[in-house]
Amino acid sequence: MSNIKELTSGVAVQAMGAIVALVVIALPSIFGSSWRVWLSAIPSSALGFIGGTLITVAAMGFWKLFHKREISAASPMSYPRGGYHHISTIKYEGVRWNMQSTTPDPWGQHRQGILGSGDIDVERPPMCPNCPTELLESRTIFGRYRWYCVSCGFVKTSHESYWKVAERADILARAKWVELRQATVLYTVPRDSE
């Protein structure tokens, strides 16, 4: 909804700027005199107002065009003390997502072999589908997100940030983990009895 507000306010400001510019250009030809004569008849305060309006509209247009808006990111994250362990890779939204779980800690307190689907998530940012490089993200002029690879030049445009898409990729990763657990027989090696 905020993108629609930004778009309509931007269009309204640019339309007002265009109308002011057309009035300044068209009035001398309407009244049949040159623009120099017409401008000399206008008070300097009015010219300052028109000039200030044009400069403000132009500055707002350039600011919207070139200013990178903040990318919506996830809330602050904490990392497990042992880091993450790579499990598998899934494809979603045309990019690769690495499935991961917490790494067992060196003290053996991790529930080894009993990982539940809630312990699985995907690594952010996603990986390029063509090469092993993390994708970068930027905003486009029209409020979309552009995911791109600096290594091979891969580009993908999305309506959502990859942080938002990662939430759905997490769900798919958990489903794949359940499939992997059902397909694999998990067992523990018995200790030698003494």
For residues 62 and 95, membership in a common domain is answered with: no
pLDDT band (50, 70, 90) for residue 49? confident
pLDDT value at residue 168: 94
Would residue 132 count as lying in a domain?
A: yes
Whose structure tokens read 């007002």?
Answer: 16
Say if 172 falls within a structural domain: yes
Residue 2 predicted with pLDDT over 60: no
Residue-wise pLDDT for 160-191, tens only, equals: 988 899 999 999 999 998 888 777 655 444 44
Q: How many CB atoms lie within 10 A of CB 65?
A: 9
| Token pair of 86 as six digits | 């790579």
**CA proximity to 180, closest of 105, 88, 100:** 88
Residue 194 domain flag: no
pTM equals 0.55
Give a yes or no: residue 115 inside a domain.
yes
Q: Tell me, yes or no, whether 54 lies in a domain.
A: yes
Q: Looking at the domain assignment, is residue 141 inside a domain?
A: yes
pLDDT greater at residue 37 or residue 67: 37
* H/E stretch holding 136: strand 136-139
pLDDT digit string (tens) for 117-155? Answer: 777 889 999 999 999 999 999 988 777 899 999 999 999
In a shared domain, residues 102 and 161: yes
Say if residue 136 is in the same domain as residue 164: yes
Look at residue 189 and tell me if it is in a domain.
no
Residue that has been written with the tokens 């938002």 in this structure: 164
Q: Are residues 38 and 117 in the same domain?
A: no
- When divided into structural domains, the chain yields a total of 2
**One domain for residues 52 and 100:** no
In a shared domain, residues 91 and 160: yes
Same domain assignment for residues 99 and 53: no
Q: Write 170-174 long-range contacts (CB < 8 A, 24+).
A: 170/120, 170/121, 170/122, 172/90, 172/92, 173/90, 173/97, 173/99, 173/120, 173/121, 173/122, 174/117, 174/118, 174/120, 174/121
> Does residue 29 belong to any structural domain of this protein?
yes
Query: Which one, of 144, 148, 120, lies nearest residue 134 by Cα?
Result: 148
Containing structural domain, residue 46: 2-66
Are residues 11 and 90 located together in one domain of the fold? no
* Mean pLDDT (the chain, rounded): 77
How far is residue 49's CA from residue 52's CA, in Å, rounded to a whole number?
5
- Quote the longest CA-to-CA distance of the chain: 112
Q: In this structure, what DSSP letter does residue 134 have?
A: B
Of residues 12 and 164, more confidently modeled:
164
66 pLDDT band, cuts 50/70/90, is low
Sign of CA dihedral 123, 129, 130, 135: negative
The 10s digit of each residue's pLDDT in 92-117 is: 999 999 999 877 656 655 454 566 67
